[in-house]
Amino acid sequence: MPPVKIYQEDQIASPMMRVWQNFSANPFALAGLWTIAFLLLLTLFGPLIAPFAPEAQDPRALLLPPSWDPSGTVSHFLGTDDLGRDIFSRLLHGAHLTFGMALMIVGTALFTGFIIGSLSGMMRGLKSSILGHLLDALLSIPSLLMAILVVAVMGPGLENVFWAVGIALTPQFVRSIHQSVHEELQKEYVTAARLDGANSIQIFWYVIMPNVWEVVIIQTTLAISAAILDIAALGFLSLGAQAPSPEWGAMVAQGMDNLLTAPWTVTIPGLAILFSVLAINLVGDGLRSALAPIRN
């Protein structure tokens, strides 16, 4: 027999549970989260479920329209390009080149920027001021322009794109974390923790960082969107992925010659880029709205 509860007990949700409750109340944020989960599955298992190889050519199916067109076929669900390559298969193979590489680039930039930004934010005086002005100068250059400059020096290719976009995004993380840590360091509760005997590491991790995670999360979502757009833009400009790579930006560039006669060769990979960036922005906006009440 279960015990009888005489007193009503209020269940107080943990901070993480309150964040999830606020986040799940936003249907657009949930839609973006499901889209990101779907993209992650495509990144991991896309090449395994693709019906054709990305470079496989079918001379009997040149510029075949998508399957919903009367001239299309189900075997080529999203149609083919001017070389008879299946667009659906190329999208699946290109997911890890665009979306997957963007995640790896942002992870590397976040790790590097977190370390540099945290150390510089805890500094005082001339060192902190010099680094702050240096970061302001670097941030005055758009990330895509800086990536183009790095690729122009290092040469085209996906490996160089990784380093180019990573170098372009790292100053954003350093600046945002540096500024947030430096501002929190001036608060009165930090002084109170120092008077209680807390050392610098304890003050940083247990006092300052709980108020900085919101900035880190928001900056990460913005950086993933920027990384996807930068990778696709470099591929479109033939500075990143080279033909016949199935990277989404390179696919758009390869379909530009047939834009009027076969618009699906451009619009389908373009829509893949659009929905990826839109989903990440929706999740970032939902997280920002969910974290705001918790912080306040």
Chain length of the chain = 296
Tell me what the mean pLDDT of segment 227-249 comes to: 89
Which two three-digit tokens encode residue 230?
Answer: 């930068």
Q: How confident is the model at residue 127 (pLDDT cuts 50, 70, 90)?
A: low
Rg (CA), the chain: 24
CA distance 164 to 115: 20
Q: How confident is the model at residue 294 (pLDDT cuts 50, 70, 90)?
A: low
pLDDT confidence of residue 287: 87
pLDDT tens for residues 220-237?
A: 998 999 999 999 999 998
- Percent of the chain predicted with pLDDT > 90: 33
pTM of the model: 0.88
DSSP bridge partners of 80: 86
Average the pLDDT over each of 27-36, 120-129, 148-157 and give the range with the smallest value: 120-129
Tell me what the mean pLDDT of segment 36-50 comes to: 92
Q: How confident is the model at residue 35 (pLDDT cuts 50, 70, 90)?
A: very high
pLDDT above 70: residue 5: no
Q: At what angle do helices 158-185 and 126-139 cross, to 10 degrees?
A: 140
pLDDT confidence of residue 11: 67
Q: Which of 44, 43, 75 is nearest to 58 (CA)?
A: 75
Residues 6+ apart with CB under 8 A from 182: 121, 128, 132
Average the pLDDT over each of 62-71, 101-110, 135-144, 166-175 and give the range with the smallest value: 135-144
CB atoms within 10 A of CB 16: 9
Look over the chain and give the mean of its residue pLDDT values, rounded to a whole number: 86
Tell me what the mean pLDDT of segment 268-285 comes to: 93
pLDDT confidence of residue 27: 92
pLDDT confidence of residue 293: 59
Tell me what the mean pLDDT of segment 117-140 comes to: 75
Domains of the chain: 26-50+82-291 (1.10.3720.10)
Q: Residue 162, class by beta-carbon neighbours within 10 Å (0-12 exposed, 13-18 middle, 19+ buried)?
A: middle
pLDDT tens for residues 208-222?
A: 888 888 889 888 998
